[in-house]
Chain A
Amino acid sequence: EDQVTQSPEALRLQEGESSSLNCSYTVSGLRGLFWYRQDPGKGPEFLFTLYSAGEEKEKERLKATLTKKESFLHITAPKPEDSATYLCAVLLGGGSQGNLIFGKGTKLSVKP
């Protein structure tokens, strides 16, 4: 069964304290891995797409990396405004018509 698991479920950091979020997946026919940010009561906001092992992408304090079994979202010197739930999703190939399978997310809290 295709599965996406995110860890930890929740993470509390002090402002400036760097850390990483993990997304592990067991799927067949991966076409892409996506990271989204979701603020309470709002829809997910697109951050990154990664397509192949070894690929890395950066945006401000965030950097996403991909291996054959997992992806990491590294947060460098986070600020309180980075507090949100970070969702990982995989796009399957084959006959899936391109639907995304999401993990449950990691809720990040950054304290000043």
Chain B
Amino acid sequence: ETGVTQSPTHLIKTRGQQVTLRCSSQSGHNTVSWYQQALGQGPQFIFQYYREEENGRGNFPPRFSGLQFPNYSSELNVNALELDDSALYLCASSLEPGVNTEAFFGQGTRLTVV
């Protein structure tokens, strides 16, 4: 158990819809990062939040957005869903940015867009 939980575990959405994925980080971890993992690929960095502010972003369009809350929970929002957004979405919590000695991952949310 990593102490990082994600919800829901599975989700099916229709193209064009919006989705919100949730993550509860380990207590005391101020940093949360979100990754997208397509089938057969390694995880790709979406963005990172530190103390409720975005602290870095990968090559993902603005329709991918996030929030981090004071209670160590966070959200990933995706608007105008496309078929290629189908993937496993992972959140990882760590103490501070750039200190990923042990970034603890949740079990992921499997998103299917039809």
- A interacts with B: yes
Q: Which residues of B contact A99 (CB under 8 A)?
A: 33, 45, 48, 56, 58
- Interchain CB contact (< 8 A) of B105 among A32, A43, A49, A97: A43
Whether B48 and A97, one on each chain, are in contact in the complex, defined by CB atoms closer than 8 angstroms, is yes
B34 to chain A, nearest CB (A): 10
Look across to chain A and name the residue whose beta carbon is closest to the beta carbon of B108.
A43
Number of interface residues of B (CB under 8 A): 34
Nearest B residue to A44 via CB reads B105
A22, chain B: closest CB distance, angstroms? 15
Which residue of chain A has its CB nearest to the CB of B105?
A: A43
| Cα A34 to Cα B90 with chains together (Å) | 17
Q: Are A97 and B103 in contact (CB under 8 A)?
A: no
Identify which of A32, A46, A105 contacts B104 (C-beta below 8 A): A46
A20 to B61, CA, bound (A): 38
Partner of A42, one of B41, B102, B108: B108
- A31 part of interface (Cβ distance < 8 Å): yes
CB-CB nearest 8 A-B residue pairs: A97-B56, A102-B42, A98-B98, A43-B105, A99-B45, A98-B97, A44-B105, A97-B55
Chain A residues at the B interface, C-beta cutoff of 8 Å: 4, 31-32, 34, 36, 41-46, 49, 87, 89, 91, 93, 96-105
